[in-house]
Structure 1
Amino acid sequence: MSINPLVNHNYDFVVIGSGAAGLTAALVASIEGLKVLVIEKTDVIGGTAARSSGTVWIPNNSLQKTIGLDDSKEKSMTYLDSLVGDKSDRLLRESFVDQGPQMIDYLIKNTNIRFRPYASSPDYRQDHPGAAAGGRPLEPQSFDGRLLGSDFKKIASPLKELMLFGGMMITRGEAAQLIKFDLNSFLIGFKLITRFLLDRMSFYRGTRLVLGNGLVGSLFKELLSRQVSFITCSDTKKIITNQLGNVCGVIVVTNESEINITVSKGILLAGGGFPSNKLKRQQYLPQPSPLHSAAYDGCQGETIDLGLSAGGVLGKPGLDNALWFPSSLIQENDGAVSIYPHIVLDRSKPGLIAVNVKGKRFVNEAVSYHEFVRSMYKNTAENPSIPAVLICGKEFIWKYGFGLIRPRTPSLKKYIQQGYLYEGNSIEDLAIKVGVDSLALNQTISSFNTDVVNGRDNEFLKGENIYDRSNGDPNNHPNPCLGLVSGPPFYAVKVYPTPLGTSLGLVNNEFSQVLDCDGHPISGLYVAGNDMQSVMGGEYPGAGAQIGVAMTFGYLAAKHAAS
């Protein structure tokens, strides 16, 4: 299927993949005067970016200054050098820090896409010098999906588990307000629900797009207005090179027809890595390899394979080659497995702990989702932590929610019957049901509760840095992340490693050009997003780091091709 259909089979710049990297590159290339085609293998636009928070991590961006926050290249590089070290090419990190702010300014100057700095979103690794207290993550402003008309249905939907009423999106800030259940939360909820109900009279879901859907929607709208062509439901078979080894075309199969597309300036590979490919997960990710992924189904790694077939090479495997969510799973009536990523809404709140099969805590529960899963794998050999078990009391669920369970849910019976939520009339009862050591669990909860009373987590220092505290309950004193695990009854949910992205990909230079085995650029072949070797060396510095790097190197690819 085509959107802004093919005028002919000759293009300046072809983008394979329609996530944040691909859409940004296509937009920049179009602004720079190139004739652009976007090829998407699935029937919708947006990839994993559409499911994400849409946050864009850009250190030293110009919008920070509008809220009185100072940053610098030096501070940003100090942070990344300390966190990443020799796990990636420093030149690429420096290119990101230099060009990321320019990418944001370019979009603001040339399009209607707007961002706001997230002042209260600290960098994830506060244990490293140069970490910022906020401002580096940029949140996309909401987008009115009605502006897309009939093309609204082409935007990939968010995870249904993260929407309210089966189709209403809310921001993280709105979620924090709604759980307060005060007059302000009522007014916010009334406004959101009224808009949603009006939307459902004409659309299959809410058209107020926020988070990743807001970012993708605004990029898509800009591209459609510039008459950029799209082919969906397509299979890219081969990259064509000439006798000199320069990329000059691509073969695509769509509607059972093979199309030979000529390319004059370049092809960008932006297929989102391989987090949804079971075989590649088994080959490249740590054991036990994840059975499920929170990424979009289309992220199978075929675009990486295309790059390899054209002479590109994979980077050096890292610690785990993935970027992680800890997710709880529930089997639906049709047999499908729904995935709920435990990002920030419950793990950091007071009154919850995570334990392994031996009934012992193994991690500061408030660390970033990426570091939480890394701790699961780190502890698996001697103290199996896959799955990990999150434990809390009834009051916790009522106040904060628990995974799929929303705050103020009147009955938990459905979740218990589905095997998602475990209930115990005592700690021993719960331990038996979830399969952990009951004596050790009793000791763990007793010791943790003693620490809570004394005001300090002596084992993992939970809530003692600004990142932890930013996701806690600000009304819980003195530590927003520490509260008693109280019961009976006691409740538990099991969480598993699920990759939201992969960090092993094609090697490239600072212009996003794919490099061959000798380190030379392959003329006309570019890579961005999770198809490229991680600029962060598989580390996760802050909210939106994946998207920030993806958009920056998509921008660099388009600018280089246009030059």
Structure 2
Amino acid sequence: MRIKANTCVVMATGGYDHNPQMILENQAVPVYVSNAAMTNTGDGQIMGAKVGAVWGNMDTNWGLPCFYGGSPEYTGELVYDFLTNDWGYYRGSAGAIVVNRQGRRFGDESSAYGVFNRAFGQYDTDILDYTNIPAFFICDDEYVSTMTLPGQAAVGDPLPDYFVQADTLQELAGKLGIDPEGLVDEVASFNEGAAVGADPTFHRGEKECNVVISAWRTAGRDLPNPVLAPLATPPFYGAVYVPGTCGTNGGLVTDENACVLTAAHEPIPGLLAVGNCSAGIFGGQYPGAGATLGAGGIMGYIGVRNALGAL
């Protein structure tokens, strides 16, 4: 089917989450899961490039940590899933931590999902690999007995198959591929601070903007810090935890009126782009929930007004 546009075209075709080749060629840090529409395959970016448009922000995404079944192999083909997404409710709740293969925490688990997702990107110059990929979500039975995990409609429902259970932290580490001594030491250190509501390493619970994400889940417990509690009650539970996305953030570079630009920063006549097929107006940052919707809505309004000659 061919449609002729007499005046201009406003492209709003979304990101490139489900184009494995573009993911491998452009994303700076591996991503494994996306809840973006399966039709987000970079069509707008590719079509724009064919007429002289340039791309920007192609190495960034709207980050969203996710649980993962099995050992992640990076192929660029993202798992399409909603249930494994962690907007902060799970890792930021009291009684849970996220660690790497050495058993070490690497960030404030209560921080916003886009912020925590960036912590996966640390590169180890010794092993020539990402230190924090894969990571692992760890919690104890107190957590499981009082709060839900992904796929559970209510406490006590069966856990997803990708969760493993063990009577000791050493056994859990062995099942997940974590250094046992590192995990035991890290949990002991974490528990010491959590018992008095303190996290001297990453200051979890000290920022109000982080506390509100998950503190409501422990409203009935008497805790000195609503997002901290020791992991002390066996059995212990764990799952693979990886960087994901709710959309890629790169595409056609535009000006303030949504006009698509060439490499010389000149507008391409009659071509506009908005949303995730354009280079994100926040650069590589994710200022907060709704940023992608807000930017898409605002630039869409501006773009349409431009197309109608109202600007």
Instruction: Provide TM-score, normalisation by structure 2.
Output: 0.88
The alignment-based identity, stated in percent, is: 28
Q: How does 1:466-505 map to 2 (within 5 A)?
A: 466-474=208-216, 475=219, 476=221, 477-505=223-251
Is 1:275 paired with 2:21? no
Is 1:368 paired with 2:146? no
Shift, 1:315, TM fit: 2.2
- What amino acid is the match of 2:65? P
Is 1:402 paired with 2:149? yes
Aligned to 2:205: 463
Q: Is the alpha carbon distance of 1:381 and 1:407 closer, same or farther for their aligned partners in structure 2, counting shifts above 3 Å?
A: farther
2:269 to 508, 516, 523: 523
Q: Is the alpha carbon distance of 1:505 and 1:316 closer, same or farther for their aligned partners in structure 2, counting shifts above 3 Å?
A: same
Q: Is the alpha carbon distance of 1:452 and 1:473 closer, same or farther for their aligned partners in structure 2, counting shifts above 3 Å?
A: same
Runs of 4+ with deviation above 6 angstroms: none
Shift, 1:560, TM fit: 0.8
Between the aligned partners of 1:374 and 1:381, the Cα distance in structure 2 is: 18
Q: Structure 1 regions of 5+ residues with no counterpart?
A: 1-257
Shift, 1:347, TM fit: 1.5
1:294 to 35, 38, 44: 35
Equivalent residues, number: 293
- What amino acid is the match of 2:135? A
**Greater helix proportion:** 1
Between the aligned partners of 1:388 and 1:315, the Cα distance in structure 2 is: 29
Between the aligned partners of 1:379 and 1:452, the Cα distance in structure 2 is: 28
Q: Is the alpha carbon distance of 1:373 and 1:310 closer, same or farther for their aligned partners in structure 2, counting shifts above 3 Å?
A: same
Is 1:559 paired with 2:305? yes
- What amino acid is the match of 1:449? N
User: SS where residue 68 of structure 2 aligns?
Assistant: strand
1:539 to 285, 294, 310: 285
Q: Give the CA RMSD over aligned residues.
A: 2.0
- What amino acid is the match of 1:285? Q
Shift, 1:442, TM fit: 0.7
CA contact (8 A) 2:34 2:81 kept: no
Is 1:508 paired with 2:254? yes
Higher RCO by CA contacts (8 Å cutoff, separation 6 or greater): 2
CA contact (8 A) 1:272 1:530 kept: yes
CA contact (8 A) 1:294 1:325 kept: no
Aligned to 2:55: 314
CA contact (8 A) 1:455 1:482 kept: yes
CA contact (8 A) 2:254 2:279 kept: yes
Q: Is the alpha carbon distance of 1:372 and 1:381 closer, same or farther for their aligned partners in structure 2, counting shifts above 3 Å?
A: farther
CA contact (8 A) 1:468 1:481 kept: no
Between the aligned partners of 1:514 and 1:534, the Cα distance in structure 2 is: 13
Q: Is the alpha carbon distance of 1:496 and 1:437 closer, same or farther for their aligned partners in structure 2, counting shifts above 3 Å?
A: same
User: SS where residue 551 of structure 1 aligns?
Assistant: helix
Between the aligned partners of 2:57 and 2:213, the Cα distance in structure 1 is: 34
Q: Is the alpha carbon distance of 1:502 and 1:540 closer, same or farther for their aligned partners in structure 2, counting shifts above 3 Å?
A: same
Q: Is the alpha carbon distance of 1:285 and 1:316 closer, same or farther for their aligned partners in structure 2, counting shifts above 3 Å?
A: closer
Shift, 1:390, TM fit: 0.7
1:328 to 67, 85, 93: 67
Aligned to 2:296: 550
CA contact (8 A) 2:104 2:186 kept: yes
Shift, 1:542, TM fit: 1.2
1:45-104 deviations in Å (ceiling 9; x for gaps): xxxxxxxxxxxxxxxxxxxxxxxxxxxxxxxxxxxxxxxxxxxxxxxxxxxxxxxxxxxx
Shift, 1:463, TM fit: 0.8
Q: Is the alpha carbon distance of 1:478 and 1:388 closer, same or farther for their aligned partners in structure 2, counting shifts above 3 Å?
A: same
- What amino acid is the match of 1:345? Y
Between the aligned partners of 2:102 and 2:211, the Cα distance in structure 1 is: 28
Larger radius of gyration: 1
2:193 to 435, 440, 451: 451
Instruction: Provide TM-score, normalisation by structure 1.
Output: 0.50
Q: Is the alpha carbon distance of 1:381 and 1:296 closer, same or farther for their aligned partners in structure 2, counting shifts above 3 Å?
A: farther
Between the aligned partners of 2:158 and 2:38, the Cα distance in structure 1 is: 33
User: SS where residue 264 of structure 1 aligns?
Assistant: coil
Shift, 1:480, TM fit: 1.4
User: SS where residue 9 of structure 2 aligns?
Assistant: strand
CA contact (8 A) 2:16 2:41 kept: yes
User: SS where residue 165 of structure 2 aligns?
Assistant: strand
Aligned to 2:87: 343
Q: Structure 2 regions of 5+ residues with no counterpart?
A: 71-78
Shift, 1:329, TM fit: 2.9
Aligned to 1:425: 167
CA contact (8 A) 1:272 1:531 kept: yes
Between the aligned partners of 2:283 and 2:45, the Cα distance in structure 1 is: 17
Shift, 1:381, TM fit: 5.3
Q: How does 1:9-88 map to 2 (within 5 A)?
A: none
